Amino acid sequence: MCNLFNVANVDDVLEKLREFQEGPDPSRKLKENISGKIYRVKKFLAFMAEGKSNLSNMVFLNETRKINSWVSSLSRSGVTETTIKHYVDNVSQFIDFIAETPPQTSRLSKNVMIGLRREMKGLRKSLKRGVAMHRTSVKASKEEKVLSKGLLLDSPGDGPTPRIQWKFYGLFSAFLSSVFGHRGGVFQNMTIQEVMEAKRSSTENAFLINIKTHKTNELYGPAQIILMEEEYEWVLRFLILKDQLPGGLGAKFFFFVSTPNPCKNLNNYFQEAWKAMGLPGCPTFTDVRTSIASHANFTHAPENRLKLCKFMCHDVCTADTFYVTNLTAKQAVEHRRLFEAALEGLERSLA
């Protein structure tokens, strides 16, 4: 391993990049995301600096062939196309950063930086096809796990119980996921304070919970969960008992554990509850989210689908890219008939 990270100048640049991307008041989730980006940039720099000396001038970056070799090495190591894209995107951000705020010791000219930025832009473009094919493959595997509408509606039927903590977590998160299709992180980050501050609707006899910390909060604001009165009573009964459980006294998160951290095993509890209810398969929160997004796509009119996508804290394009599964054979045949009808109409108009 090269002595790259013993070079104070490189460490200083990475720390400044971290501060720039985190901003003045970063959330815990944002800090975790930025740490992941810095890690990927470090891996790139270590590859580029291997066998080099005088690293502080950063001239070791001016090797486009080696940059291409780095991408190839990721692929040979079994890194997926989407993860390689993350690497390239993060390195592109790093190159942009040092181009706009060059370190004092840097000997990279403006023309060199223009070339490096052009190279990274070309790499990002070349990866698009592979990423699209990978996502199609992932969608196909998700298709096998898509849950029927009836199953999604019936699964919460047994109802949660606060007597056994992990069982309640599994059942209640299964209920929330099957109704709202939120990411697992939304449930993990839901705080007791947010639950207690739920806004009551007297006309609908329901309680609205606003969850501030989640993956796309900067774009969509708080994620929302609406509970009917009986469902909100489940929550209150659990909170009455929480102090008797390890970590319950002074807990911050609704799905708390014995430590101050959110429950990282919530998906496991969800799967155990799913199995205990006698339901088929072993879905994850993402599988349920995929199923709901897919059913919304094939069932609802565009305006209603847009409403559901916003409630799930993603846009329609995101749903199409990551969640909505490919067409079934029956749906594909229906689409073929539409094409045939269009061509028949064209022939008649030409005749």
Are 184 and 270 in the same domain? yes
Higher pLDDT, 88 or 142: 88
Cβ atoms of residues 58 and 109 within 8 Å: no
Q: Using one digit for the tens of pLDDT, what is the confidence trace for 27-56?
A: 888 888 899 999 999 999 999 988 887 788
CATH number of 162's domain? 1.10.443
Residue 225 has pLDDT above 70, yes or no: yes
Amino acid at 264: K
Residue 195 has pLDDT above 50, yes or no: yes
Cβ atoms of residues 245 and 162 within 8 Å: no
Are 113 and 169 in the same domain? no
Residue 348 lies in a domain: no
Strand partners, 201: 206
Are 249 and 161 in the same domain? yes
Contacts by 314-319, CB closer than 8 A, 24 or more apart = 314/216, 314/220, 319/293
pLDDT band for 346, please (50, 70, 90 cuts).
very low
Q: Using one digit for the tens of pLDDT, what is the confidence trace for 52-78?
A: 877 888 889 998 899 989 999 998 888
Interacting residues of 93 by C-beta distance below 8 A, sequence separation 6+: 17, 21, 37
Can you give the residue range of the structural domain that contains 85? 4-142
Are 112 and 178 in the same domain? no
Residue 330 lies in a domain: no
pTM over 0.85: no
pLDDT band for 127, please (50, 70, 90 cuts).
confident
Are 166 and 297 in the same domain? yes
Residue 326 has pLDDT above 60, yes or no: no
Residue 252 has pLDDT above 90, yes or no: yes
Per-chain mean pLDDT for the chain: 77
Q: Is the Cα torsion angle 328, 333, 335, 339 positive or negative in sign? A: positive
Are 82 and 218 in the same domain? no
Backbone angles phi and psi of 9, in degrees to 5: -60, -45
- Decide the pairing of beta strands 223-228 and 199-201: unpaired
Are 102 and 163 in the same domain? no
Work out the number of other CB atoms within 10 angstroms of the CB of residue 62. 16
Q: Using one digit for the tens of pLDDT, what is the confidence trace for 146-157?
A: 555 555 555 444
C-alpha span between 178 and 158 (Å, rounded):
13
Are 80 and 175 in the same domain? no
Are 83 and 137 in the same domain? yes
Number of domains in the chain: 2
Question: Of 89, 113, 142, which marks where a domain is finished?
Answer: 142
